Amino acid sequence: EAGVAQSPRYKIIEKRQSVAFWCNPISGHATLYWYQQILGQGPKLLIQFQNNGVVDDSQLPKDRFSAERLKGVDSTLKIQPAKLEDSAVYLCASSLGAGGWSGANVLTFGAGSRLTVL
Amino acid sequence: TQLLEQSPQFLSIQEGENLTVYCNSSSVFSSLQWYRQEPGEGPVLLVTVVTGGEVKKLKRLTFQFGDARKDSSLHITAAQPGDTGLYLCAGSTGSARQLTFGSGTQLTVLP
């Protein structure tokens, strides 16, 4: 089966500019996640969707970050305006199910989108 | 917020050596996962442990979940250069729907 697709792979912008990342999850996966991974750190959850509804966005900086999941399939993550500290890899992941532990909650990650803010 | 601390942060060893990395927390997790991440790629799941005291083996990798389900270890026997990567542990509580990741252990195995 095809994996989680993300684009662009790399993006360099000036601070205060805007950027958008796109994710196409594995077909049939109900749950989609966006993680931020700063160099030298583990991934931090930004937002979790189940179908097209938001399950958790408690760590999303809502003054500058926004995300949507179109028709419960693809998703976009937008940053506007970008700050220097937003430089990171933005990872998208999907899973068949959600909630507690089960075999359906195995996450498959995409390769990520590396953002550099100058 | 559950915090997962991994140690060591960096580890560089020669091919053929054994190693252990640790994942510790003050929180109890219903399950704990280990991932490996290579440069330019997303994390890939290696194993999930769900029962306190559980031991799982994956070829030369041995994973253990602590009896109290607060800690875990990963032991690699006879490391190979292909084992090089960032090893991440991630814990999940029974009612939460998200994984909390540790900061990772960067392993380099030199030929």
Tokens linked to A36: 């931020």
pLDDT at A96: 85
Residue A53 C-alpha, separation from nearest chain B C-alpha, in angstroms: 14
pLDDT at A23: 97
CATH topology of domain A5-100+107-117: Immunoglobulin-like (2.60.40)
Q: What is the mean pLDDT of chain A?
A: 91
Any chain B CB within 8 A of the CB of A91? yes
**Pair A75, A68: CB distance under 8 Å:** yes
Class assignment of domain B5-110?
Answer: mainly beta
Which of A42, A44, A48 has its CB closest to that of B97? A48
Between chains, do A42 and B103 touch, taking CB under 8 Å as contact?
A: yes
Could you report the per-residue pLDDT of A53-91, keeping only the tens digit for each?
Answer: 998 899 999 999 999 998 889 999 999 999 999 999 999
pLDDT at A100: 47
Q: What is the DSSP letter of B59?
A: T
Residue B41 C-alpha, separation from nearest chain A C-alpha, in angstroms: 4
Any chain A CB within 8 A of the CB of B49? no
Tokens linked to B97: 């729907």
Would you list the domain boundaries of chain B? 5-110
C-alpha B96/C-alpha B22 separation (Å) is 23
pLDDT at B95: 53
Specify the residue for token string 């590396």: A114
More confident residue, B94 or A42: A42
The residue type of A53 is G
More confident residue, B47 or A99: B47
Mean pLDDT confidence for B71-88: 96
Beta strands in B1-111 (DSSP E): 5-7, 10-14, 19-24, 31-37, 44-49, 55-58, 61-65, 71-76, 85-92, 100-101, 105-110
Would you list the domain boundaries of chain A? 5-100+107-117
